Structure 1
Amino acid sequence: MPIEFIGRVSGVDDELCLVAAIAERDDGTGRALVFQAGLEPPDDQDVRLGHDTHCLVTETHGTAYGCVRELAIDGNRMHVIIDQHALAELGLTDTEIQVELAIAPEAIELLRQYLSRVLTYGRPEAQPTVLRT
């Protein structure tokens, strides 16, 4: 059964790293997905640690690198497929996540732009096989 939630709060940032996030509530409760990537190309240490790709963080602070297999935004719907091997790390129960984007059209557009940048960071084999933002 897919994980479903309504994303009412979004945010992007590129000060310390690239960040694109969507959350159920702005008080920190409820579901959240935070997609992150570096601003600079990965260095040798990033490669050694497996941090030479995008990172996904959930509301439980579960964290996994290179785990997004597919991401598509169609209108106000975001569909995400996560690698099965990352479920335990992320604290998730299903590989499929459906998010209704209950945010302004301008915020959806900004989220699209940042997700494209975040999810194409680093080693190509860790990038999503499907990316429609």
Structure 2
Amino acid sequence: MPIEFVAQVAGVDDEYCLVAAVAEQEDGTGRALIFQAGLEAPDDQDVRLGHDTHCLVTETHGTAYGCVRELTIDGNRLYVTLAEHALADLGLDDVEIHVELAVEPESIDLLRGYLDRILTYGRPEAQPTVLRT
């Protein structure tokens, strides 16, 4: 059964790295998904560590790299499908996540742009097979 929640907040940042996040509560608590990627091309160390792709962090600080297989934003709904092998690292029990985005349309537009950049970062084979933002 998919993980489902309503995000009361969505935000982006690009000060230290590219970040796009959604959270259940205004203060950032509750369920959360934080998508990240570097600002510059991956270096040799990133490649060696397998960090030469996007990163997903959950509210429990579970972290996995290159794990988003599909992502679609349809209106105010965000649908994410993850790689099965990443579930333990992320502390999740299902590969499907459905998020209702209860935020302003401008926030959804920003989220779309950042997710596009984040999920196409790094090695092509780790990028989602479906990306509809």
- TM interval, short-chain normalised: over 0.9
Residues 73 and 79 of structure 2 are in contact (CA less than 8 Å); yes or no, is this contact kept in structure 1?
yes
Between the aligned partners of 1:130 and 1:77, the Cα distance in structure 2 is 15
Moved over 4 A (4+): none
Which residue matches 2:103?
A: 103
C-alpha offsets along residues 15-69 of structure 1, whole Å, 9 cap, x if unaligned?
Answer: 1000000000133321000000000000000000000000000000000000000
- The normalised TM-score by structure 1 is 0.99
Which residue matches 1:5?
A: 5
Kindly, what percent of the aligned residue pairs are identical? Answer: 79
Structure 2: stretches of 5+ with no match in the other structure:
none
User: What is the CA distance between 1:109 and its match in structure 2?
Assistant: 0.2
Between the aligned partners of 1:26 and 1:52, the Cα distance in structure 2 is 31
Structure 1: stretches of 5+ with no match in the other structure:
none
For residue 95 of structure 1, what is the amino acid of its counterpart?
Answer: V
Which residue matches 2:72?
A: 72
Between the aligned partners of 1:65 and 1:41, the Cα distance in structure 2 is 15
For residue 54 of structure 1, what is the amino acid of its counterpart?
Answer: H
Which residue matches 1:130?
A: 130
